[in-house]
Structure 1
Amino acid sequence: MARTALFVIDIQVELAQNAATEISHAERIRDGGTQILQSARQAIDSASEHERVPDLEIVFVQHEEVAEKGPLVKGSKAWKLVFKPRDDNRWERLVSKDVRDAFESNPQLAVELRNEGVETIVAFGIQSECCVLSTCRGALAAGFNVVLLQGAHSTYDIDGKTAGAIEGEVEAQLVTTGAEVVPWELWKPSASNMYSGQTVCKGARIYQVL
């Protein structure tokens, strides 16, 4: 059975739940993340109730750094996750990292996911041009299909560019390398019917999935 791993990337207090330091679109990311996770967890729980292996698992990615390099010091309030894995659910896991790419920081992660039947990585989170982009590239390099959820990733305004412009640039970069970009509202947490009947972007083209 082809399975999917939903990556929730670096949605941490410093970036998404602190009015003084959060990205400008933090509320959008929190609201979108809440709905995405609610849908994903419903799918997982439904499968578990029927004693089936769910098509989906959730990977919560948490960045950590030393104080000299930034505020996301392990154990600090800034470092804490806005969305956390459920302790009692085997299909939700926490992955720590200290570089942008979660796969580079965790060399066994790709193998572990493949052993669980995962073929597709669906990603959202913060920051678009940093850890989201790098982790998506790492997933592609490891041979996974990659879907980026449009509207559910963002960043800061940087170097005269708005966060929205950077989001678009990241999506374009990933599309040219074979990833898909799907509006988060259209994504459904089912390996067999992930976005049936919706428009998705793949490669450099737009497809209508029937």
Structure 2
Amino acid sequence: MPRSALFVIDIQRELAQDPKTRIPHAERVCSAGEKILSVARGIIDTYRSSEQQSPSTIVVVQHEERPEDGTLVRDTEPWRLVFEPRDGVREEVLVAKTTRNTFETIPDLADKLKADGITEVITFGIQSECCVVETSKGALDAGFKVTILQGAHSTYDTESKSAVDIERAVEEELEGRGAEVIPWEDAVASWEQRCMISSYSIFSEL
């Protein structure tokens, strides 16, 4: 069964919660993240309850910096995650990275995902034009199908572009490379529908 990996990228307190440093659309990204993870975890739990392999896994990505390079220093408040993987759930993993591209920091990550049957990477998080786009491109380069969840990623405004303009530019760039751009609400609705059908099949066999 083809499986997908949901990458939750760098939704950390400095970027998403601290009123002094968070991105302008942090509330939107966090609200979307709560709903996305609620549905994704519900699907995982449905399969776990029937002792069958889930069609998806959740990869929580956490950026780390050295004190001389930035403020996302390990074990500090800015570095901490908004959404942490659940303890004891095999389908939820935490990965640390030090570069924008998660696959660059962890060279064997793609092979590990493929060995686990993963064929698609789904991305959302912070910042659109940094770690979200670079991790998405890393997944494409590694041969995965890639979907970015529109409305569930964002960044800071710049002098010349608004955060929303940057979001759209990133989506266009990834689409041009072969990725799919889907509003997160549509993706979640599709997952829920497929889970309902699959759940009927799973439990009818018990």
TM-score by length of structure 1 reads 0.90
Aligned twin of 1:44: 44
Cα shift at 1:124: 0.2
Aligned twin of 1:206: none
Cα shift at 1:67: 1.3
Aligned twin of 1:24: 24
Q: Residue by residue, what CA displacement relative to the aligned partner does 1:56-93 show, whole Å, maximum 9, x if unpaired?
A: 00000000001111110011000000000001100000
Aligned twin of 1:142: 142
Q: Residue by residue, what CA displacement relative to the aligned partner does 1:161-209 show, whole Å, maximum 9, x if unpaired?
A: 1000000000000000000000000113749959xxxxxxxxxxxxxxx
Question: Quick check: 1:56–1:191 contact (8 Å CA) kept in 2?
Answer: no
What SS is found at the alignment partner of 1:123? strand
Question: Quick check: 1:55–1:190 contact (8 Å CA) kept in 2?
Answer: no
Aligned twin of 1:53: 53
What SS is found at the alignment partner of 2:69? coil
Please tell me the residue identity of whatever aligns with 2:109.
L
Question: Quick check: 2:60–2:84 contact (8 Å CA) kept in 1?
Answer: yes
Aligned twin of 2:176: 176
What SS is found at the alignment partner of 1:61? strand
1:11 paired to 2:7: no
Cα shift at 1:35: 0.2
Cα shift at 1:20: 0.6
TM-score by length of structure 2 reads 0.92
How is 1:42-191 mapped onto 2 (pairs within 5 angstroms)?
42-188=42-188, 190=191
Question: Quick check: 2:39–2:192 contact (8 Å CA) kept in 1?
Answer: no
- Counterpart-to-counterpart distance in 1, 2:157 and 2:48: 42
Structure holding more helix per residue = 2
What percent identity do the matched residue pairs reach? Answer: 51
- Counterpart-to-counterpart distance in 2, 1:180 and 1:7: 15
Runs (4+) of structure 1 exceeding 4 A deviation are 189-194
Range with bigger deviation, 136-145 or 63-72: 63-72
RMSD, aligned α-carbons: 1.5
Cα shift at 1:51: 1.1
Cα shift at 1:159: 3.0
Residues matched between the structures, number: 194
Please tell me the residue identity of whatever aligns with 1:88.
G
Range with bigger deviation, 65-74 or 114-123: 65-74
- Counterpart-to-counterpart distance in 1, 2:65 and 2:153: 21
Question: Quick check: 2:59–2:95 contact (8 Å CA) kept in 1?
Answer: yes
Q: Residue by residue, what CA displacement relative to the aligned partner does 1:110-156 show, whole Å, maximum 9, x if unpaired?
A: 00000000000000000000000000000000000000000000000
Please tell me the residue identity of whatever aligns with 2:116.
E
Structure 1 regions of 5+ residues with no counterpart? 195-210
